[in-house]
Amino acid sequence: MRTVRLWKEFAPIISHYRFIEFKQKWLNPSQEEAKKEWNMLHELYSDKVLNVLLDFRGFYIKIGQVNGYLLFQIDYGKQKRLPHVMSAKDAKDVIVSSLGLSQIEDVFQDFSEDPIGSASIGQVHKARLTKCGDIVAVKIQAPGAEDLFRNDIRAVKEFCRVFAPEQVIIFDEIENQFMTEFDYKIEAENMMTVKKNLEEFKNEIHIPKAYPDLCSKHVLTMEYIKGPKLVDGIRKMGEEYAKMQGKTFKELEKEIMEKYDKEGLPPPYSGPSSTQIEVYRKLLYLKDRIINIPIHFLNSTFRFLFRYTGMKIFNKDIPLYKSFIPLNSARIMSILLRTHGHQLLVNGLFNADCHPGNFLLMEDGRIGFLDFGQIKRIDDEDRKLLCELVVALSEKNKVKVKEIAHKTGYKSKDFNEDVIFRIAVVAFDQEGKWVTEGMHVQKFMEKMFQIDPWERMSNLFVMPARTSLLLRGIGLMLNHPVSVCDSWKKRIGAMITEGLLNYNAEKVVVASRDEAALQKFSIEMNNRCNYSELFYIVGQNRCEYFKCDLSKESEIDVLVDHITKKFGGIRVPLFETYAYSASKAALHQMTKVLAHHLASSNITVNAIAPGPFESKMMAATLKRYENEIIDSVPLKRIGKPGDIAAACVYLCGLGGSYVTGSILPVEDCDVMFTLIKCRTFSTSAQDLTKMKYRTKGVLFLNMGGPSSLDKVEDFLSRLFSDTDLMKLPMQKYSSKFIAKRRTPKVRGQYAQIGGKSPIYDWTLKQTELMKRALLQDGLDVNTYIGFRYVPPFVEEAVEQMLRDGVEEGIAFSQYPQYSCATTGSSLNELYRVLRKHDPSKKISWRVIDRWPTHHLLIKAFAKLVTEKISELPEECRDDAVILFTAHSLPIKAVDRGDPYPAEVAATCHSIVKELGHSHPYRIVWQSKVGPLPWLGPHTDDALTGLAKNGHKVVVLVPVAFTSDHIETLYELDILYKDLADKRVDALNVEPLFIDCLKDLVLSHLKDFKKPVQLNLQCPKCTNAVCGEAKGFFEDHHDEIVRYEDKTRTIE
């Protein structure tokens, strides 16, 4: 019935708006006439819309909160008209059943019959805790609220498909986020986390304390804090101001709206500061007190006379004088912007429900923060992108905004730079006339959609944009309009500076055009961060400033010169030896730390930094380039061991007794010998040098997994739309439908393993450890991660490789056993990306496509299996059955010729052989999806069957996974935990496995052999891209063979 009423109430209204829009488009009236017609519509429908929203409650209240000031100027104050969701008896029944009480008095005394607040899905009652007497606010969720919300969102989305299709994508993300609001226990945890994160603002804000033991999914108990709501304070201020002007509040509101219609929304506030306003407010308070002194005296005199004379003329007090004292809007907006900017840009966890009904004006001047149901989490990568976006919008950098939109996954028909920029400005920053052209926001969005329809709106955009919209709405209501990005950009600079100082930066130089602001800021930073554990400098000015205009290149040069002269230059090696240079710098800093800590024991610590010396590490270089190196240094010789020995004698003897924490260079001048002489080499030597020092990059390819619960649907949508993985009818649409249907179930599974997939974390650790192991063998490579269905995508990784100047790339599949659905899909995607981003083949590619029987992989598995069997009781170890489990595959893929089952079997056979055939084993298959037949037996069926056959001890071995993720952590550890005795850990960061990764990369670079299997397509393959990709990489491999031959010839 609610859906029917939605169409009945709103369809005529929207149709009327569309009709006026269509009419104006054809008749082209004057701007004044057009606005007059729009205003008549607003006047006609605003109250009706408001009444329907308030009557509907639920999700419709949320729509009103977001769009109120943009669409119909819905008055937040009227939300007080919300009827109670439940009677007091029903509320008490929810508390008793949800908290498992026998009666409510067991926990709560003085429970208020009338709620002190009423919201979209529940209401709040005041009570006193029986045990300790604390006054608390108890938030109770109405029965059935969640189902009502889901149905409302579904109805609104269908409505939008007809009348506002550009909004559907946005509602998808809002739906995902709002569904988290129905668990009050999560809200209590969010409240405590945000309270901790905003500890530094405790003198300006107050977040109530939660009582976790008295919280459940439907009940939230928190500290009661006093004070009027910000929305009430705003309305009261508006009414007083209107009275001063001789108008009603409604007339004032209408006047402001007409002004906005005529002139557009006002530019960001540039009036008095919060300090100036506060001084003005205190002067008004003082003025009132002074003026009221004689009035108080007269009133006291009159009351005395009336008491003794009884004359009625004295029975009336003279009204006290009261000035119009405005809210300190500058302070309120500063606090709200800084705290929400901190949540978004620093913590990555923020409250997206910051409408003025959720803030209290406390008596001590602080602002109370309420309602933490709409907490959104963004990962570090998205947080960094958001910081970049804020800066780009503040600087009006359209190119950068477009680049960020691409990184976030935003997708539109033409990827129009101007449309992307203008949408981002309206979503995150402001609605200035310069960007909307004076159009109503809804009309503006429709125009942008017509120019360049968007197909996918990034999750990163929606909830932060909602936060920005709500904050700007409060700013307009306070007559304090803001540019959110300008405010947050300043916050970013402050956060970076404070972070550097807190993390032991010896000096930080800040630069800006505003010298007064710089001076004030540097003083604040020095007062706040005047201690460094690393450098032990107390009270020194570690934050310095320099006035310059960073938008001018010439002034940047001046800044660099200033810093160089004042603090000295930085020595940078000419070779791009990142890891080597970083390790040198680490040793230098460790020397200083040790010197500081050991000085009290009369121990000196110094480091020697040698130049070119006779040593094992330098042997190969000296063998080839000794003459060139000698020619390049003034002393015309290579360093000898005695030179180092003499330096050591100096530091350890009396001459160095007062030297500690120093880095002593032992070299002939500051010479960077290797590249200086490359210009004089013969042609052959030049070619050899170029070949040997080509920048190398290893790209780890994997499926990936969602980094948060909010990203599950996007992950599933990409997975089901991958035509390399599966073929579906009308796949573009059916994939989204399937993903949406499966999302609640899969989200629940991820919630049980920590709320995200750990694949990225494990892969990052694996790349770092492999890189470190390679460096120990003298090979420095860059490492990258390219996921198929979640960021960082393969496309992002390739773009970064090109920016880093990588010349040799290794596409390293993290699936030991090849399958068209895994490695094949990743390589096809890499081929598509390279064809788009690297058509000139700046990077030459080698492919590690499979490694099912690599000796170190087998040893790693065998070691883990042995360790797990040893954990069994001794009497049943010999009886253990090893059950190798791998992700299953549809039978039709096997019939097509996919080599995956055979390669899994090869891995299992090799492991059993390594174990000395000590235990019986079988191969089983897991993670079947959909109704089609898949490889069997399925893992759960096999476990049950073995138990029935008397095999009581089973050890599960996930043989096709290189790291733990949902298939191991949920499916094996949770679903099958009662069926298997032990589960062998995934490879993760097992040292033998890291050695395996290192050996694979090293062998491909040192002794490259073309992969025999890669170029062979499945016998019944019908995927044209697969053949193209294989041919593409085959061409690269042929070129590498010729390249290697040329290298050997030159040598």
Determine contact, residues 891/942, Cβ cutoff 8 Å.
Answer: no
Q: What is the DSSP letter of 81?
A: G
Pairing of strands 375-377, 411-412: unpaired
Q: Which two tokens stand for residue 451?
A: 């120019």
Q: With left for phi above 0 and alpha for psi between -120 and 50, is residue 634 left, alpha or beta? A: alpha
CA neighbor of 967 nearest in space, from 1010, 927, 912, 1016: 927
The 3 state secondary structure assigned to 975-1031 is HCCCCCCEECCCCCCCHHHHHHHHHHHHHHHHCCCCCCCCCCCCCCCCCHHHHHHHH
Domain boundaries, the chain: 1-84+144-163, 373-491, 503-567, 578-680, 696-852+995-1048, 855-987
- Catalytically active residues are 854, 999
3-state secondary structure of 454: strand
Asked if 578-680 and 696-852+995-1048 have one fold, the answer is yes
CA neighbor of 340 nearest in space, from 470, 461, 462: 470
Place of tokens 């883990």: 864
The 3 state secondary structure assigned to 815-878 is CCCCCHHHHHHHHHHHHHHHHHHCCCCCCEEEEECCCCCCHHHHHHHHHHHHHHHHCCCHHHCC
| Mean pLDDT for back-to-back runs of 10 residues, the chain (1051 residues) | 76 82 78 75 76 68 53 39 67 90 89 81 89 92 75 76 68 58 84 89 91 91 92 84 82 77 75 85 90 86 71 74 87 91 86 86 91 81 84 88 85 88 88 76 80 76 84 88 84 68 69 78 68 39 78 77 67 57 83 86 85 70 71 73 71 77 72 31 36 76 91 89 80 83 89 90 92 85 92 92 90 94 92 89 91 95 93 88 93 92 95 93 88 88 90 91 90 86 90 94 84 88 87 86 62 46
Instruction: Please give the pLDDT value at position 151.
Output: 75
Residue 358's φ and ψ, nearest 5 degrees, are -100, 15
CA distance 121 to 148: 9
Determine contact, residues 425/461, Cβ cutoff 8 Å.
Answer: no
CA distance 1027 to 581: 42
CA distance 233 to 331: 14
Q: Which two tokens stand for residue 432?
A: 């200035």
Check whether domain 696-852+995-1048 has CATH 3.40.50.1400, yes or no = yes
Determine contact, residues 1050/684, Cβ cutoff 8 Å.
Answer: yes
Instruction: Please give the pLDDT value at position 477.
Output: 85
Burial readout 356-394 (b: 16 or more C-beta within 10 A, e: otherwise): bbbbbbeeeebbbbbbbbbbbbbbebbbebbbbbbbbbb
Burial readout 751-784 (b: 16 or more C-beta within 10 A, e: otherwise): eebeebbbbbebbeebbebbbebbbeeebbbbbb
Instruction: Please give the pLDDT value at position 850.
Output: 93
CA distance 207 to 956: 48
CA distance 959 to 900: 12
Q: CATH assignment of 578-680?
A: 3.40.50.720
Determine contact, residues 72/78, Cβ cutoff 8 Å.
Answer: no
Residue 787's φ and ψ, nearest 5 degrees, are -95, 155
Fold of 855-987: Rossmann fold (3.40.50)
Q: Which amino acid appears at position 967 of this protein?
A: E
Q: Which two tokens stand for residue 556?
A: 């940047």
Determine contact, residues 677/625, Cβ cutoff 8 Å.
Answer: yes
3-state secondary structure of 366: coil
Instruction: Please give the pLDDT value at position 541.
Output: 65
- Count of other CB atoms within 10 angstroms of residue 1039: 13
Instruction: Please give the pLDDT value at position 232.
Output: 85
Determine contact, residues 859/914, Cβ cutoff 8 Å.
Answer: yes
